[in-house]
């Protein structure tokens, strides 16, 4: 019996070189952020560990409550900075140097195809877009991993999703993954790998692939993964110009899948996730009368340069609806600089947006855009649970940057074609 991509990577990294029900595997990289890593550091110290397994394979990335929203947040960053200094950890990054972790780590070449990665953040599954095995874990797991360089995994099953057909204008990876979550539910892939394949996936640019794998967790998935190809190599080559080859793992033709789901994208319209679950998905044409108080374009899901480009094309020469709060957050300082160079930020400013420094901020109801009681928000983020962006009495819709930009102009959820 053949093996899937994830099975091959786990077997390669297994300390026993075998695929068993439970696998103890060597890690290529492990990391946490300014919310989860301080907890890991606390556990690390309570366990009386006195060394780390590799100073170059641990990351401490400050992005969630940064720029520091309050004294506690500032103290968390300080604690991580001191820990990094004490153990000579190379990859400590404050907000001015990194931005949102799941955009920054691939952009910088710190995570690569074929690697086994864990992060104390559920959206670590994002790096499956590179053809890597990347899993979210708890802070205690991270504490042990920083010491041992290893982690336990239960052997996961894989669901194969095959996307065929031609993507219509304005359709993106965000729409494909929202449709998929709507189809299988928030627990449809519980502890399973979501392997995305098919002709439509092969044509997707890297940013859209990141978006799809990023939201695998919203279907209960252990991770998402896409086979590395020439598109992947070009992306990695930009981050690491000196790299000559990447590790590409392909699922065998006779690999075992728990299920194969085929999806035709040919007649799909832009998708919107309605309150209060990512699986409550409808086509944008069915949501014409949803008035908005706030729109956020950004996050680890859709804060990359192509996302900003799509939104700016729709907004160029236009103004946001009077009374609407519109926020755009380039996911990293480099994305911010590129957006500024290409005049995207100028377009956002002229349209009436507030342009923020890179941060997770509003996505988790942290800062930079909190919703009050009965307010309605549309965001390009990944979750819309009750209270996710502020008040438990608020309402959050999720969409692609294209739909978000169009909706800013009308003040209600809108198809891009209606404003062009």
Task: Return the exposure string of 178-214: e unless at least 16 CB atoms fall within 10 Å of the residue's CB, then b.
Answer: bbbbbebebebbeebbbbbbbebbeebebbbbbbbbb
- HSE (CB half, 13 Å, CA atoms) of 128? 31
Residue pointed to by tokens 């928000």: 377
Q: Are strands 150-154 and 22-26 parallel, antiparallel or unpaired?
A: antiparallel
* Per-residue pLDDT tens digits for 160-216: 999 999 998 899 999 999 999 999 999 999 999 999 999 999 999 999 999 999 999
The pLDDT value given to residue 289: 87
* Among 90, 85, 87, 92, residue whose Cα is nearest residue 37: 92
0.85 cut: is pTM over it? yes
Spell out the domains of the chain, with CATH numbers in brackets.
5-262 (3.30.499.10), 273-419 (3.30.499.10)
Task: Return the exposure string of 357-378: e unless at least 16 CB atoms fall within 10 Å of the residue's CB, then b.
Answer: ebbbbbbebbbbbbbeeebbbb
The pLDDT value given to residue 58: 98
> For the range 337-346, what are the long-range contacts, defined as Cβ-Cβ under 8 Å and sequence gap of 24 or more?
338/305, 339/305, 339/308, 339/312, 342/305, 342/309, 343/312, 344/308, 344/309, 344/311, 344/312
What is the CA 392 to chain-centroid distance, rounded?
23
Distance CA 125, CA 141 (A): 16
Q: Which helix (H) or strand (E) holds 182?
A: helix 173-184
In the structure, how many helices (H) and strands (E) does the chain have?
A: 14, 18
The pLDDT value given to residue 242: 87
The pLDDT value given to residue 244: 82
* Among 348, 304, 301, residue whose Cα is nearest residue 328: 348
Q: Sheet of 354-355: strands edge to edge?
A: 281-283, 271-273, 395-398, 376-379, 294-298, 325-329, 354-355
Q: Which helix (H) or strand (E) holds 209?
A: helix 206-214
Q: Please identify every stretch of the chain with a pLDDT value under 50, giving residue numbers as ranges.
A: none
The pLDDT value given to residue 85: 97
Cβ atoms of 292 and 370 closer than 8 Å: no
The pLDDT value given to residue 278: 97
What tokens were used for 393?
């009495």
DSSP classification of residue 371: B
């Amino acid at each position: 019996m053949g093996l899937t991509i994830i099975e091959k990577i786990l077997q390669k990294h297994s300390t026993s070189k075998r695929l068993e029900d439970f696998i103890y595997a060597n890690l290529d990289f492990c990391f946490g952020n300014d919310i989860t890593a301080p907890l890991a550091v606390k556990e690390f110290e309570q366990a009386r560990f006195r060394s780390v397994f590799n100073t170059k394979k641990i990351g401490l990335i400050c992005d969630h409550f940064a720029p520091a929203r309050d004294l506690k947040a500032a103290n968390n960053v300080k604690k991580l900075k001191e820990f990094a200094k004490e153990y000579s950890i190379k990859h400590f990054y404050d907000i001015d140097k990194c931005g949102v972790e799941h955009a920054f780590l691939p952009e910088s070449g710190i995570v690569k195809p074929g690697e086994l990665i864990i992060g104390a953040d559920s959206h670590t599954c994002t790096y499956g877009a590179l053809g890597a095995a990347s899993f979210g874990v708890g802070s205690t797991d991270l504490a042990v991993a920083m010491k041992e360089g290893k982690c336990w995994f239960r052997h996961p099953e894989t669901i194969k999703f095959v996307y065929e057909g031609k993507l219509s204008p304005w359709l993106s990876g965000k729409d494909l993954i929202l449709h998929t979550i709507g189809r299988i539910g928030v627990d449809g892939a519980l502890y399973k790998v979501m392997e995305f394949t098919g002709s439509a996936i092969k044509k997707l640019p890297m940013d859209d692939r990141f978006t799809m794998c990023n939201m695998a967790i919203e279907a209960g998935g252990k991770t998402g993964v896409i086979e590395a190809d020439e598109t992947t190599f070009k992306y990695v080559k930009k981050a690491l110009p000196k790299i000559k080859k990447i590790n590409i793992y392909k699922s065998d033709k006779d690999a075992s899948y728990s299920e194969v789901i085929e999806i035709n994208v040919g007649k799909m319209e832009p998708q919107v996730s309605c309150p209060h679950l990512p699986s409550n998905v409808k086509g944008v044409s069915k949501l014409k009368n949803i008035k908005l108080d706030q729109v956020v374009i950004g996050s680890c899901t859709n804060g990359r340069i192509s996302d900003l480009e799509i939104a700016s094309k729709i907004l160029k020469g236009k103004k946001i609806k009077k009374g609407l709060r519109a926020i755009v957050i380039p996911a990293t300082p480099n994305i911010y600089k590129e957006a500024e160079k290409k005049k995207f930020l100028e377009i956002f400013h002229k349209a009436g947006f507030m342009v923020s420094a890179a941060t997770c901020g509003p996505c988790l109801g942290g800062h930079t855009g909190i919703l009050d009681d009965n307010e309605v928000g549309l965001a390009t983020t990944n979750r819309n649970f009750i209270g996710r962006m502020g008040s438990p009495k608020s309402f959050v819709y999720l969409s692609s940057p294209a739909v978000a930009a169009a909706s800013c102009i009308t003040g209600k959820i809108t198809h891009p074609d209606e404003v062009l």
